[in-house]
Structure 1
């Protein structure tokens, strides 16, 4: 493999690995803040115990997400310096806001939450976790704004003398129509993931305690507490999943408008079709040149793409013929010369993304999400009216539940990025023109191997810590020490 292929593999590995932690961080921070607030309001010991337990699991996940996220930005200068030079004026602005505003909110106030027990007033202490959550959401917004520019470039002007795209309207970048639907889709998916993690770990503890045969008032209180956590996690999962479905439906229509090839690739649709069906299963040629649907839902793809069951969806074959002229005309209108169009806009590998990967990643994303919804609904039904679960099957649901939306998120991002190919910035810069020109394949091999091994070691640490604190469960209740009125804050060196 050449440096381009290796750079793409490295970025894919680090990005997918990092995004395993991001949705858990966003979703769990809200749930921890909720339980902490409930404790301050109602003084129910269960709420404080759950806040601290879920808080420990959240902090473990946050730490790994932080470490792995830093590598992402370094890669723009390491392997993708040509891309950074080309759109750095635009792409760097929302990333700077993310680092200077959102990241500092998260890290500063998380520190206050961790070390603030008994040191700051209770209401202020609970507020710190809400501020952490706000920071995670803002972080998502700014990063998604940068990515949405890559999907649908707006708010820029092209300087033909420097050969660079330059910022023209920062508000247009922040309120890109792709961004306005991508953000709620990603954040609701994060809430779904956080709810699934909470449901899974609480369900595991509830079932384990229920089958242990232990008796006593303390056991009964713990059972009720874990059941409470299980049901809240299941409710959050289901409600958030509805948000994912609604925002995903809107996103599909915008995607069809701004990236018609991505929608065609998602279905493996080669010919332009009205009342286009959506295939649950398709058998395609190994080279991705044709597809034979096996199970279809009539008109569903047209509805997803246009809002009408009889709407027309353009196929891959037609788009291969029309996209070259359309994108070249857009580049000329932006001020590019013919040589610059050839360098930045025209892909050497053609205008079609990897069809099999686009097709299946789209279905894995949806399929895993629907399975998670079914599990959450089943748990709510099984735990109604004060009931507990004991059968072996619930153990496997507890194990699988946190993984399903995490991997659904991963497959969703794989589809988003693969479907945009062969461009880094859709219609503006090809992937081949964005890779660093002075980085050799051996350089990328070395850094990719090092990062992959390091991430593997971090994964072992993450899993062991997460499982250890999950098995340990919530700590026994201890009344927090009140903050004395004459306590003074002091610097420590």
Structure 2
């Protein structure tokens, strides 16, 4: 493999591992705000103890997330020095804002959140929980802003030429609110809420199947199901808005997402299929006629730009983008279905009588994680060959001095370290789950078979 492929693979591996943890932190942060808010409102110590348990899980996730995120910033300088020089003024401001407004806020109140239960008052502790949750979301805001600028650059001008060329900010707020940032941020945040909600649902369902911590498990599931229902429906809305934005700002990416090779109106929307890029056709596919055109313009006669309208060296890989995008959409509808079914059975009073559904809940924790990963693949592979859309190609952003052997060595090393950290995370998370909440603090506890 050449240096470009290896460097892209190295960054993909590190960010894929890292992206397991921030969505869980963001989603759990919202859940903790809800449960501790319920404690302040009801004065029921049960909700305080519920929050204490999830704070332990949050702290573990936060710690591993920080450890896995540091490497990527170094990779900008080692593997992508030309790119870093070009976007440093833009990217640096967003990352600095993340450190000042997000990371310091989150980490500053984290100690109070974890260790301050008996040292500060309930309202101050709730304020700390709220600040940590907001800090985690602020972090996502600035990271998504930086990435969105790479997708749809705005508020800049180019100074210098050749290797000395760089983008400088001319309008900070135009950079922040670039054409894709709001849609992508809302879509990303709702995916994080789903990751946190379904982690809670999974752990609580496991407890019910084992006849442990019954009141804790039932209450956790009910709160998380409402959160999941709201987030999954919001995810559907933000996903549609993002796709409309992609059609306008990155038409080659949309063409790859739906395997549209020629300009056409009444473009179909594929449910699934396999793209033969050489023959420019979708095999084994089932499509809804005219639906793609209708969804992006509310008119079946809306024109969709095909890949053949772009130079061959400016087209993204089609099949991987197509498959990742459709898997993300399929999982999104599955999460809506699970959430709706859970809330409906809760309303009917039979939610906890269906053991098969509890098993579905246990494994549902994997779905938001998979959706987040393939959504990232859709966004990043879909903008290839550009590292900054329309301004710099990926091959142009590489460091000039890095050799393939060096990248191979660091790729293997980082992969082993990240696998080790993931195993450590699963081991510690399992220990916390097996230990569970302090049963003595969950009075009145319910022992026995789960009932409605």
Measured against the shorter chain, the TM-score band is over 0.9
Select the residue among 319, 323, 338 that pairs with 1:356: 319
User: Aligned to 2:313, what secondary structure does the other structure show?
Assistant: coil
**Alpha carbons of structure 1 residues 459 and 478: separation in structure 2 relative to 1, 3 Å:** same
When structure 1 is superposed on structure 2, of 44-53 and 76-85 the one drifting more is 44-53
2:4 corresponds in structure 1 to: 4
1:235 corresponds in structure 2 to: 226
1:324 corresponds in structure 2 to: none
* Pairs aligned (count): 440
Contact kept? 2:277, 2:318, Cα under 8 Å: no
Q: How much does 1:384 deviate?
A: 3.8
Select the residue among 187, 199, 202 that pairs with 1:200: 202
Q: Between Structure 1 and Structure 2, whose CA radius of gyration is higher?
A: 1
1:39-54 → structure 2 map (5 Å cutoff) = 39-54=39-54
State the alpha-carbon separation in 2 of the partners of residues 78 and 307 from structure 1. 46
Contact kept? 2:205, 2:359, Cα under 8 Å: no
Normalising by structure 1, report the TM-score: 0.86
1:264-283 → structure 2 map (5 Å cutoff) = 264-283=255-274
Q: How much does 1:308 deviate?
A: 2.4
1:364-375 → structure 2 map (5 Å cutoff) = 364-375=327-338
Contact kept? 1:227, 1:383, Cα under 8 Å: no
User: Aligned to 1:158, what secondary structure does the other structure show?
Assistant: strand
Q: How much does 1:461 deviate?
A: 0.8
State the alpha-carbon separation in 2 of the partners of residues 246 and 288 from structure 1. 34
**Residue 460, structure 1, aligned to residue 451, structure 2:** no
User: Aligned to 1:284, what secondary structure does the other structure show?
Assistant: strand
Q: How much does 1:91 deviate?
A: 1.1
State the alpha-carbon separation in 2 of the partners of residues 288 and 187 from structure 1. 38
Please list every run of at least 4 consecutive aligned residues from structure 1 whose deviation after the TM superposition is greater than 6 angstroms: none
2:407 corresponds in structure 1 to: 444
Contact kept? 2:106, 2:131, Cα under 8 Å: yes
Contact kept? 2:317, 2:382, Cα under 8 Å: yes
User: Aligned to 1:312, what secondary structure does the other structure show?
Assistant: coil
Gaps of 5+ in 1: 210-218, 321-348, 480-493
**Residue 87, structure 1, aligned to residue 87, structure 2:** yes
When structure 1 is superposed on structure 2, of 200-209 and 414-423 the one drifting more is 200-209
**Residue 401, structure 1, aligned to residue 364, structure 2:** yes
1:308 corresponds in structure 2 to: 299
State the alpha-carbon separation in 2 of the partners of residues 149 and 131 from structure 1. 27
C-alpha RMSD of the superposition: 1.8
Q: Deviations over 1:423-460 (max 9, x none)?
A: 00000000000011101111111111111000000111
**Alpha carbons of structure 1 residues 170 and 122: separation in structure 2 relative to 1, 3 Å:** same
Gaps of 5+ in 2: 443-452
**Residue 263, structure 1, aligned to residue 247, structure 2:** no
Q: How much does 1:390 deviate?
A: 5.4
State the alpha-carbon separation in 2 of the partners of residues 468 and 108 from structure 1. 27
